[in-house]
Amino acid sequence: MKIRVFDNAHDAGVYVAALAEQVVERQAKPVLGLATGSTPIPFYQALIRLHQCGLDLSNVTTINLDEYIGLTPSHPQSYARFMWENLFSHVNIPETQIHLPNGVASDLEAECIRYDEIIRKNPIHLQVLGIGVNGHIGFNEPDDTLLSRTHIVNLCPETVASNARFFQHIDDVPKRAITMGVQAILQADQIVLMAFGREKAEIIAKAVFGEVRTDVPASILNLHKNVTVVLDKDSASELFDESGVLRRK
């Protein structure tokens, strides 16, 4: 596991965009696994700038981690809308190559199966992740077990409270979501975990230095051969001792 610490989120986003560019240039049909929330926005902004400077994304396929259940793609707080506003409307990725779970499917179990088939047919070259304050990746919440395949999840109170900042009232926050499972995440060739802000420092330390455990889902990334943790100074603050040396497990 590699750890990269930047002065700010902007610089971190530029670095992750450079990693994505390497994948896009190296692969004939690159597949990017994408995340939502405020954390990956600097990455999307930097990727848009690269596209404006000549990076062709027309061969890219994207697979998003998750979507709220009950929100249509046009809903202001749906992840489909988020991705359109923050990335897809600014680049030349064809809509037919953009994949997100359908949170208003009439048969949600069938939708999970459909999404797993998309992932199977499009192995992910680079998976970008954020991390929740409770350690979730995607919407794989802390639990006794972590499910391997795409599934329906009941969101933890911490997740609902954290996401409430995007809604007028906490009662408006959906309580369920569809999420990619941990197996698909771990099958990606390369994983980048992004985190910014002091509020993520404690969970980052647990994920990076703690034991692999289901109540800290992000800790499972320690089992992957190619993970880069991309942080700002605040989120990395508990990874270093007083002399600035990286702590060890």
**Cβ proximity of 60 and 66 under 8 Å:** no
**Cβ proximity of 131 and 140 under 8 Å:** no
Residue 41 is inside which H or E element, if any? helix 41-52
Q: Which of 42, 90, 36, 22 is nearest to 64 (CA)?
A: 36
Q: How many residues are present in the chain?
A: 249
- The DSSP-derived string for 131-154 is --TT--BTTB-S-SS--SS-EEEE
**Cβ proximity of 32 and 60 under 8 Å:** yes
Residues with catalytic annotation?
66, 134, 136, 141
CA distances in angstroms from 229 to 83, 109, 158, 195, listed in the order given = 22, 32, 22, 8
Provide the pairing of β-strand 2-6 with 98-99.
Answer: unpaired
Cα-based torsion angle of the residue sequence 41, 47, 50, 52 in order, rounded to the nearest 10 degrees: -70
**Cβ proximity of 152 and 108 under 8 Å:** yes
